[in-house]
Amino acid sequence: MNVKYLVSYLGLLPFLCLIIDGYYLEILDVNFIWDLSLLMSCIIFTFIGAYNWNFVIDRPWLEFYGFMPSLISMVILTLSLLGISKIILLMVVIAFLVTQLFFDLILSLKDIFPMRYFITLRIPVTSGLTISLFLISLIS
């Protein structure tokens, strides 16, 4: 198995631990769980965007498209620091992850991204992440 794939799937493990703690162990404060989930998901969202950067092929729109998750993540984290509801921000992150997955699927179908990567990594990992974030948002 490719190391990138292994690391990507292992990236879901902290979210699983937060879900287990939030629903069963209750060791961590719920606000800490929401904050950590928001931070980690924004980092992942930024990495997803960075995959779109290709300095070999001169496509400025693709580089801008790859930069957008970083900008969106910065805005989300700033809103979090300003006191906007973490639940709302988690839902916003979910919406952006699903939106990017949709647009990346279109780019994959147009042979801009490799389809195998998309099927074996992006769909399962993004699905797992969005489900995890939704479950974390329901912790009270």
* Residue 106 reports pLDDT greater than 80: yes
| 90-103: average pLDDT | 95
What pLDDT score was predicted for residue 42?
97
Q: Are 52 and 65 a contacting pair, CB within 8 Å?
A: yes
% pLDDT > 90, the chain: 64
| 93-119: average pLDDT | 84
Per the structure block, which two tokens stand in for 136?
A: 């974390």
Domain ranges of the chain: 3-137
The overall average pLDDT reported for the chain is 89
* Residue 51 reports pLDDT greater than 80: no
Please report, for residues 22, 105, 118, 120, the alpha-carbon distance to residue 5 in angstroms, rounded to integers and kept in the order given: 27, 18, 11, 8
What pLDDT score was predicted for residue 55?
55
Helices (H), the chain: 3-10, 13-20, 30-50, 60-81, 86-109, 115-117, 123-137
